[in-house]
Amino acid sequence: MAEAVVCFVAEGLEEFVSRNGEYLSEIRDQVQLALTELQLMRRFAKFVDGRQGDDVEARSWVARIIRDAAYDLEVIVETYSLKVVLRRKGVCQSAMKRYACMFIDRIRVRKIESKICDITNTISELRLSLQTNRIEVLIPNYLPPRDTEHHPHPIVGLEAKVKALVMRLEQNEDPVIAILGMGGIGKTTLAKEVYHHHAVRRHFDCFAWVCISQQFEVRRVWEEILVQFISPTNEQREEIASMDDDEIARKLIRLLGEKRCLVVIDDIWRTEDWELLRLPFPVYGATGSKILLTTRNKEVALYAARNGFILHCYPLTEDESWELFENIAFSGRNDRGPEIFERMKKLGVRMIRHCNGLPLAIVTLAGLLARKKTLDEWNRVYENVYRSYDIEEYTSVHWMLAMSYDDLPYYLKPCFLYLGQFPEDLEIPAKELTQLWIAEGFISLAQQKQRLLATVEDVAYNCLSELVERGIVQVGKRGSVRKIKTCRMHDLMRELCLSKAREEEFLKIVNFSNIGHEPTGKVRRLALYFDANDVELVSSRYESQDHVRSLLFFGPKNWIPKSTTYILSTFKDLKFLRVLKVEYMVREVRLPTEIGNMLCLRFLSLRKSNIIWLPPSLGNLICLQTLNLDFCHSNDRTPIIPNVIWKMEQLRHLYLLYYSSSSVLRLSNLCNLQTLSCVSSDFCDMSDLTKLTNLRKLGIRLSRPVQNLEELLRSASSTLNRIQSLFVKNDVGVNIQEEVMQIVLSCCRIYKLKLYGPIKELSTDPQHYPNLTKLSLCECHLEDDQMAILERLPNLRILSLQSLSFQESTKTLVCSSGGFLRLETLSLEDLKTLEEWRIEEGAMPSLLQLGIHCCYRLKTVPHGLIYISSLRDFTIGRMPRTFYSRLQEGGEDFYIVRRVPSLALGDVHEE
């Protein structure tokens, strides 16, 4: 990590100096000398990182000096230059004030010069000391190769276990089934295979999957299970949130008694956890509902499944281990020549013996070796395996995970450690994660140029992909074009992450449910965990933490802190923050004026928080790259956004509240902006969009007709041609239907489109949308003949038809033969007037997922589904009881869906 810090700080400062050189003229020479020393220190930093077997205390001491010196230099240079920028943009306007400012500046410059010289001397003295001791002779000149091959992680050795569990689940016995095994053995993977198995999906009516962290709230778990069972509407969600614990438990008991339900509880640690959770679950298997749990603790399995069944997960055999290893390490091919392959195979066989048959260890080792193309590289890993295995601190799978971390190139180590801030079992949004990496300075322009990619966002996404390919990070969900949408970490990998983060003094987690955890040392990144019953927050505990650069708040959605003392003091005391994330806080807060002192802030998210006032000093944040002002929606207390965003020239992602009351916002000079969501014609001059030449994602709310729209669209053609994702909300009504479609047709390269509100009609030429892969329609009031246009879209993969997508008079929808050739996911939701849906043979040949929800008048599923052999998942929710009865075994329409592997019938809509 010392090398990563040196590289990121040096590269970031070089970029900063080149961009702000005019504001650094007085200290330019001192800064340049310090940067030179930093660059010279890089090879020593790399050496320190690589000496994992040496004196840990000495190595940590050297690394700390290097890191602290680099960070201190960064803070001094950035804050000084940013203050100069702000002064020159409006402070000290009178002659007397200018004279006073000049005098103060000279004093400040001398202090800054002195501080930079001290840092330079510290780095130089350490470098000379290391050089005198001839440490550089030992420095390796090897850097791991970089490529972007994809290495799938196949399921090996699970077939018999899956079959046994499916058989048990289909029987009326064994109300509780436990999967028991050590960490990394594949318990969760096995549970997922069973959970999604076609026979299981057909056998049960309702499904729920919950992960249990070591610190969890019973109510939250019950609530999550209930939500997954019934797929509630927004109104029902609010009703559930208002229930007390007993009401939720009673509702679960009733559901588990009425329907055949499957609940998977992943990773229970203690018997007392099961005692807390078990109240609403069946004691006997008469209803057919089942609980499937995974645990490492034998006592938990014996206690919870004392009237059920325990499946023991044992390590893979040698043959199974090799099969799993070979599929990943060699990617199913051999292009190295028979002799080299055989020698690599011998090395591989020897190495996987030390994995003890643990799939996680094998996958990690194979992912590491998949990127090694030469025999010498394999030999180096082989030597490291044996050296690492002899160290007592590495046991079981941990030594392999640690080696996979040590093998990471410098630019991936901080990206990996950053994941440790997120709560256990959380699926982390990829877009937000990459924005945070960029704000922290982990993704540099040098990497962008080296990889010949268009944006730093592309580089950041590639870093995430590389962590996935190495088996270090797991994919949660993928989007419409197969990009990673969410990611997560195995709990053992997270343990390693947190261990390394502590060792590197990289971050600190403070859990307010356990006040004993206090931040120590010079913490750069702080993650604060709250629960629904958080204690009074005392700001004085952290007032000395002025070196904190990143502060992330994590609490339950819609959490109400009993005190906002610490939250508000953050804006006053932590002036060097780069990242501030405070989301889902529903207590009313006036954003303090002091936020304008956070000159280094690059990422600010107040999403879904109840902010009732924003200060004009927000305009001081001229380094912001991501700004999320998508607040809680409150008509009477919605804050006015001051017209200062135009000052944030580095802004790349801007998220606004759809119904914000605002002064007219000037946006024309935000030439770096890539995301603008959502801008309203009420408070933005739409002609500003013509200047946003880097825009990729655009959300527009049309609250009034746009003047001179055709001329505006012509002048904005180069901007609109680059947009990939578009959302248009028509709040005016039928009067601007044509204007909406003019905007859509001007964005000819979009791959994602969402339309909300009336539109006249879609273009009859499907070539107007050649790249469109995802389409969502809501309240568009289309004629039913528009379905013929939708089904001819050449690359459409995901289609969502929601409330009033078609006119109220539309009672029948038809999917024609040869239509929707590439469609994979179709959702029909809240189409209350739809009575009949016909599918002709040859329509939707690629359909994988289908959902029908709240279409109350639809009498039955279309007979044509019988022709779609590709369909794998069919979910139905909030439909009439008669609709369900026709589809159940023995029902008159059962023959249509009997071959669908996964059929989930949700909550019944009561007339």
Task: Give dist(CA 402, CA 493) in Å, integer.
Answer: 9
The DSSP H or E segment spanning 475 is strand 474-478
Domain ranges, ordered by start, for the chain: 1-131, 158-312, 316-405, 408-481, 802-910
CA distance 361 to 117: 47
Q: What is the pLDDT of residue 600?
A: 85
Q: Looking at residue 698, what is its pLDDT? A: 94
Beta carbons of 557 and 581 less than 8 angstroms apart: no
Q: For 158-312, CATH number?
A: 3.40.50.300
- Token pair listed for 272: 């007392």
| Alpha carbons within 13 A on the beta-carbon side of 303 | 15
pLDDT recorded at residue 140: 32
Whether the Cβ atoms of residue 867 and residue 815 lie closer than 8 Å to each other? no
| Residue 99: burial class (beta carbons within 10 Å; 0-12, 13-18, 19+) | exposed
For residue 451, the model assigns a pLDDT of 62
Cα–Cα distance, 521 to 502 (Å, whole number)? 10
Res 519: pLDDT:
47
Pairing verdict, β 428-429 and 484-488: antiparallel
Contact status, residue 589 vs residue 570, Cβ threshold 8 Å: no
Q: What's at 648, amino acid-wise?
A: M
Rounded to the nearest 10°, the torsion over CA 430, 431, 437, 438 is: 150
Closest CA to 6 of 126, 142, 112: 126
- 213 Cα distance to chain centroid: 19
Count the helix, strand and coil residues of the chain and give each as a percent rounded to the nearest 5. 45, 15, 40
Walking along the chain (911 residues) 10 residues at a time, the average pLDDT comes out as 72 69 70 75 66 55 73 76 65 44 59 78 72 44 30 62 89 87 85 88 86 76 86 76 85 85 88 85 72 90 86 87 86 69 87 83 84 85 68 56 83 93 90 95 72 81 90 87 90 88 85 57 80 49 65 76 62 80 82 86 91 89 93 70 91 84 80 91 84 92 84 84 92 85 88 91 81 94 90 94 92 94 95 94 95 93 94 91 89 92 81 64
pLDDT value at residue 659: 65
pLDDT value at residue 241:
79
Q: Which long-range contacts (CB under 8 A, 24 or more apart) does 711-719 make?
A: 712/686, 712/687, 713/742, 713/743, 713/746, 715/687, 715/690, 716/689, 716/690, 716/746, 717/746, 718/693, 719/689, 719/690, 719/691, 719/692, 719/693, 719/695
Q: Residue by residue, what is the 3-state secondary structure of 820-886?
A: CCCCCEEEEECCCCCCEEEECCCCCCCCCEEEEECCCCCCCCCHHHHHCCCCCEEEEECECHHHHHH
With CA atoms as reference, report the closest residue to 396 among 357, 423, 435: 357
Q: What pLDDT, on a 0 to 100 scale, did the predictor assign at position 543?
A: 43
CA–CA distances in Å: residue 874 to residues 101, 850, 901: 70, 5, 8
The token pair that represents 662 in the structure block: 């605002």
DSSP annotation of 597 reads: G
Residue type at 652 in one-letter notation: R
Q: What is the pLDDT of residues 778-792, one digit of tens each?
A: 999 998 889 999 999
